[in-house]
């Protein structure tokens, strides 16, 4: 009789333990989904960022408004407009840049830019591209053996003194297929979209990009992207 009672207690104890298993499984699954979504959100691309150049112990934020507008604003003791237009593609710890977008601020990377000391709340001044550009973006149309199919070849040449860094990629005029040719790559990134209010979708999409580490080596720079601040820091 005593053995029967003991067995019943053990069965009840095991039943309680088994009953908790689905609960813990749901908790673990919830944590897994949470960290997955958090990872997707932090790595979703592209991200719109600002550029801050650190030089001689000072921080200068990049304004794409142009030299004339920046100078005029500072002359009238007003802060120049700053708009986050730099496209950042992120894959874990690696940072990539869009080549066409890169052509808009390559002068800042090369140091061929204009600095304005204008103490503001969060920065020491502003930086904008100088009148002389350090890149040459060209588009060529290339015919193929197939009638009606052409390749649109894009050539971006970054210049640093006498050194030239060509970036070449092409687009099929019929299919829209993009091909990395030189100093760039086709890379898949997680893209977040909202097809309708309340609905968020993550998908993997291919982009033509340039690895920031290549740009760092070419221009001899130290860069760091802060994904929380959405700022690309450049040390010169």
Contact 98, 207 (CB under 8 A): yes
- Together in a domain, 30 and 130: no
Phi–psi pair at 48, nearest 5 degrees: -85, 125
- Together in a domain, 200 and 95: yes
Q: According to the model, what pLDDT value does residue 10 have?
A: 56
Whether 59 has a pLDDT exceeding 90, the answer reads: yes
Q: Which residues share a beta bridge with 158?
A: 135, 165
d(C-alpha 43, C-alpha 91), whole Å: 6
- Together in a domain, 37 and 110: no
- Among 25-34, 76-85, 108-117, 227-236, where is mean pLDDT lowest? 25-34
Q: What is the mean pLDDT of residues 27-34?
A: 40
Q: What is the mean pLDDT of residues 211-225?
A: 91
- Together in a domain, 30 and 94: no
The Cβ of residue 224 has, within 10 Å, a number of other Cβ atoms equal to 13
Report DSSP letters for 165-218, one per residue: EEEEEEEETTT--EEEEES-EEEEEEEEEEEETTEEEEEEEEEEEEEHHHHHHH
- Strand ranges, E, within 84-198: 86-91, 94-97, 113-117, 125-129, 135-143, 150-160, 163-172, 178-182, 185-196
Phi-psi region of 154 (alpha: psi -120 to 50; beta: other; left: phi over 0): beta
Q: Which residues share a beta bridge with 170?
A: 153, 179
Whether 219 has a pLDDT exceeding 80, the answer reads: yes
- Together in a domain, 37 and 66: no
Q: According to the model, what pLDDT value does residue 185 have?
A: 96
Whether 16 has a pLDDT exceeding 70, the answer reads: no
The confidence band for 67, taking pLDDT boundaries of 50, 70 and 90, is confident
- Among 68-72, 133-137, 224-228, where is mean pLDDT lowest? 133-137
Q: What is the mean pLDDT of residues 184-211?
A: 84
d(C-alpha 110, C-alpha 159), whole Å: 8
Q: Which residues share a beta bridge with 94?
A: 91
| DSSP at 4 | H
Greater pLDDT, 112 or 135: 112
- Sorted by sequence, the CB contacts under 8 Å of residue 145 that are 6+ apart come out as none
The confidence band for 218, taking pLDDT boundaries of 50, 70 and 90, is confident
The confidence band for 84, taking pLDDT boundaries of 50, 70 and 90, is very high
- Together in a domain, 29 and 125: no
Whether 224 has a pLDDT exceeding 90, the answer reads: yes
Q: According to the model, what pLDDT value does residue 108 have?
A: 85
- Together in a domain, 200 and 119: yes
- Together in a domain, 155 and 218: yes
Report which of 99, 86, 208, 109 is spatially closest to residue 155, judged by C-alpha positions: 99
- Together in a domain, 116 and 17: no
Q: What is the mean pLDDT of residues 107-118?
A: 86
- Together in a domain, 105 and 201: yes
Q: What is the residue range of 143's domain?
A: 44-235
- Together in a domain, 90 and 178: yes
Whether 216 has a pLDDT exceeding 80, the answer reads: yes
- Together in a domain, 129 and 231: yes
d(C-alpha 64, C-alpha 78), whole Å: 16
Q: According to the model, what pLDDT value does residue 106 have?
A: 83
Number of structural domains found in the chain? 2
């Amino acid at each position: 009789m005593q053995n029967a009672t003991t067995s019943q207690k053990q069965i009840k104890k095991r039943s309680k333990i088994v009953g908790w298993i689905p609960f813990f499984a749901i908790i673990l699954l919830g944590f897994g989904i949470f960290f997955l979504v958090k990872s997707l959100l932090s790595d979703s691309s592209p991200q719109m960022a600002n550029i801050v150049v650190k030089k001689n112990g000072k921080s200068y934020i990049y304004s794409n408004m142009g030299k004339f507008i920046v100078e005029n604003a500072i002359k009238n003791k007003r802060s120049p407009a700053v708009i986050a237009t730099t496209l950042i593609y992120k894959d874990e710890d690696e940072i990539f840049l869009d080549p066409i977008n890169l052509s808009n601020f390559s002068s800042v990377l090369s140091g061929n830019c204009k600095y304005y000391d204008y103490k503001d709340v969060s920065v020491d001044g502003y930086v904008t591209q100088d009148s002389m550009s350090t890149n040459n973006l060209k588009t060529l149309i290339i015919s193929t053996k197939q009638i009606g199919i052409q390749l649109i070849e894009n050539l971006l040449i970054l210049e640093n003194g006498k050194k030239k860094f060509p970036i070449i990629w092409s687009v099929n005029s019929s299919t829209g297929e993009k091909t990395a040719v030189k100093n760039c790559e086709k890379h898949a990134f997680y893209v977040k979209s909202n097809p309708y209010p309340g609905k968020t979708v993550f998908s993997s999409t291919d982009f033509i990009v340039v690895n920031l580490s290549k740009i760092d080596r070419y221009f001899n720079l130290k860069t760091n992207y802060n994904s929380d601040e959405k700022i690309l820091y450049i040390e010169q």
